Amino acid sequence: YGDYEKAARAWRLPVRRTGVDGSKDGSRLVWRCDPSSPLGQGDAHFGAELSQSHDTDVCVLDLAYDPLRLDGVPARNANRDRAWQLWTPNKALGLTGVRAAYVIAPIDAADIVADVRAMAPSWPVGAHGVALLQAWTSGGAQQWLADSLDTLRGWKHAQQALCESFGWRCDPSVANFFCATPPATDVPTLCAGLRSRGIKLRDTASFGLPGRVRLGVLGPTAQRALGEALTSIG
């Protein structure tokens, strides 16, 4: 999410690096993802972050991967009404190329909502995006998603077992993706070798997690291809 920092600097906004507790002086934008990326873990700190936030803080809860949560429940509490809840259902529907989303505003954000509405013409949603959002609210789409989660759970267990059989250490994850640490110390070379065999994994060094890769949960055919590629690399 380094793009957020770059965008802030482009707008000549001050950028301050802080720890989990953040800065106690001035307004803040607090942006959290649940489940997180790239680890796919639940965010247990957001409730506390909201409780400690100032009235001038803007808190955003990015829920792009929440519909694809395979284990556990969201670690959110009643304070979530103080956050902007951002939903982008294209990932859950397998239509990542369709750009459409919606946001649930905090209960006390009338002034900011008016500003957001004033900027709405800059964010047009095409007919395909409208169709996606309309389908998202239908019972048929929600049932298809629920059925898909059962399938994804089985695929995930099998894929993690495959990785572990090659000596990889899989990190905990509640989402439809996870990070793993391969025994190879040169992850960029490993990723390049896999890419030459048609397998694309994300080196998480750019996320501040060197030595690991992120894997999306895929079906049996893709898993067999991953196993064959790892075997050929040796």
Which pLDDT tens digit goes with each residue over 58-86? 889 999 999 999 998 776 656 778 889 99
pLDDT at 192: 97
- Please state at what angle helix 187-195 crosses helix 220-233, rounded to 10 degrees: 120
Name the CATH superfamily, with its identifier, for domain 140-233. Answer: Aspartate Aminotransferase, domain 1 (3.90.1150.10)
Across residues 132-143, what is the average pLDDT? 97
How far is residue 11 from each of residues 6, 8, 51, 122, measured CA to CA in Å?
Answer: 9, 5, 29, 17
Confidence (pLDDT) at 185: 81
pLDDT higher than 80, residue 164: yes
Quick one: pLDDT at residue 232? 95
Q: Note the pTM of the prediction, 2 decimals.
A: 0.83
Secondary structure E strands in 48-117 = 58-62, 84-87, 102-104
| Span of 17-21, 41-45, 73-77, 177-181 with lowest mean pLDDT | 17-21
Confidence of residue 165 (pLDDT cuts 50, 70, 90): very high
Distances in whole angstroms, Cα of residue 140 to Cα of each of 69, 70, 93, 201: 19, 20, 12, 32
So what's the pLDDT on residue 25?
56
Cα separation of 12 and 16, whole Å?
13
Once rounded to an integer, what is the mean pLDDT over residues 127-146? 96
The architecture CATH gives domain 2-136:
3-Layer(aba) Sandwich (3.40)
Mean pLDDT over residues 155-162, rounded?
98
Q: Which two tokens stand for residue 115?
A: 């500003």
Q: Regarding beta strands 177-181 and 202-203, do their DSSP bridges make them parallel or antiparallel, or are they unpaired?
A: unpaired
pLDDT surpasses 80 at 215: yes
Domain ranges of the chain: 2-136, 140-233
CA distance 198 to 231: 14
Residue 59: the pLDDT is: 87
Establish how many alpha carbons lie within 13 A of residue 67's alpha carbon, considering only the half-sphere containing its beta carbon: 20
Q: Where are the beta strands (DSSP E) in 11-167?
A: 29-33, 58-62, 84-87, 102-104
Q: What is the pLDDT of residue 21?
A: 52
Helix, strand, or coil here: 198?
Answer: coil
Structure-model confidence comparison of residues 155 and 18, the more confident one: 155
Residue 75 pLDDT: 62
85-130 pLDDT per residue, tens: 999 999 999 999 999 999 999 988 888 899 989 988 888 899 999 9
Give the residue from 121, 132, 111 showing the smallest Cα distance to 55. Answer: 111
Percent of the chain with pLDDT over 90: 65
